[in-house]
Amino acid sequence: YVAQANLVQRLLDKRLNGRGTQFAATVYRFQGNGKDTILIDLTDSPGARPSRFMRAVDLDEDGARLLNVALSRARHHDVLVANFDYLWQKIGQGGVVRRILDLVEQVGEPLKVEELLPLGPEDWFDGLRPLEPPEIQFDASTAGIFTDVTF
């Protein structure tokens, strides 16, 4: 989660004159802070089993408490980015995440990620460059954004 937050911070730094850390972080950093809109990215997808946070069943479990912190930071809007199909398939009916997804499906409004975050492949590639070890060079001609279908 920290690596993803760092990548998003770097991408935002380019667009926001170095202020990416004010807008992107893990849920821990936003405890006690309210924002008008919170973008919550549930990163769990095919290739790995759902994390313990996603598997929480009881509201007292760490995962459920962190989700509560994340969802309750928004004054006006929560934007949930998730692989809904994957999580519906992998999380049981009693799971906290499953109940959240069901609620979002019922009352939420779908958004197109291209409109929400209009970044092209070159933006993601530039954001990854500071993370690349010196002995590994990314080939820009093969870089891109992939889905589970196109990967």
* Average model confidence (pLDDT) across the chain: 78
SS3 state at 136 = coil
115-138 average pLDDT score: 61
Tell me which residue of 142, 111, 108, 110 sits closest to 125, measured CA to CA: 142
Q: What is the pLDDT of residues 85-104, one digit of tens each?
A: 899 999 888 899 999 899 99
Higher pLDDT, 84 or 145: 84
Cα torsion angle, 8, 12, 18, 20, sign: negative
Q: Are 79 and 113 in contact (CB under 8 A)?
A: no
Does residue 20 register a pLDDT over 60? yes
Q: Is 44 exposed, middle or buried (0-12, 13-18, 19+ CB in 10 A)?
A: buried
Does residue 27 register a pLDDT over 60? yes
Higher pLDDT, 44 or 5: 44
Of 47-61, 78-92, 136-150, the range with the lowest mean pLDDT is: 136-150
Q: What pTM was computed for the model?
A: 0.64
Q: Which amino acid is at 51?
A: S
Does residue 145 register a pLDDT over 90? no
Sequence-separated (6 or more) residues with CB below 8 Å from residue 131:
3, 6, 7
Cα-Cα-Cα-Cα dihedral of 29, 110, 14, 23, to 10°?
-20
